[in-house]
Amino acid sequence: MRDLTAPSRVQALMQKYGLKARKSLGQNFLVDQNIVQKIVDAAGLTPSDTVVEIGPGLGVLTARLAQKAGRVIAVEIDQHLIPVLQENLAAAGNVQLVHGDALHTDFAALTGGVPFTVVANLPYYITTPLLFHLLESGYPIRRLVLMVQDEVADRLAAPPGNKQYGALSVMVQYYTRVEYMFKVPRTVFIPRPGVDSAVVRLEKRETPAVPVPDEALFQRLVRGAFAQRRKTLANALAAALPFLSREQWQQELRALGLPDNVRGEMLSMEQFAALTAAVAGKQ
- Give the residues lining the site for ligand SAM (CB under 6 A): 25-30, 54-57, 60-61, 75-78, 81, 101-103, 121, 123, 126
Cα→Cα distances 183→14, 36, 150, 155, 260, Å: 27, 13, 7, 14, 39
Closest CA to 122 of 34, 198, 11, 183: 198
Closest CA to 138 of 174, 162, 163: 174
CB closer to ligand SAM, 80 vs 254: 80
Instruction: Tell me the residue number closest to ligand SAM, measured at CB.
Output: 55
Assign residue 119 a region: left if phi > 0, alpha if psi is -120 to 50, beta otherwise?
Answer: beta
Q: Are 38 and 199 in contact (CB under 8 A)?
A: yes
For residue 63, the minimal CB distance to ligand SAM (Å) is 10
For residue 161, the minimal CB distance to ligand SAM (Å) is 32
CB closer to ligand SAM, 89 vs 273: 89
For residue 160, the minimal CB distance to ligand SAM (Å) is 31
Residue 178: strand pairing partners: 202
CB closer to ligand SAM, 102 vs 222: 102
For residue 21, the minimal CB distance to ligand SAM (Å) is 9
CB closer to ligand SAM, 123 vs 224: 123
CB closer to ligand SAM, 59 vs 224: 59
Q: How many residues make up the chain in this entry?
A: 283
For residue 95, the minimal CB distance to ligand SAM (Å) is 13
CB closer to ligand SAM, 110 vs 277: 110
d(CA 107, CA 99): 13
For residue 206, the minimal CB distance to ligand SAM (Å) is 29
Q: Are 103 and 164 in contact (CB under 8 A)?
A: no
d(CA 12, CA 7): 9
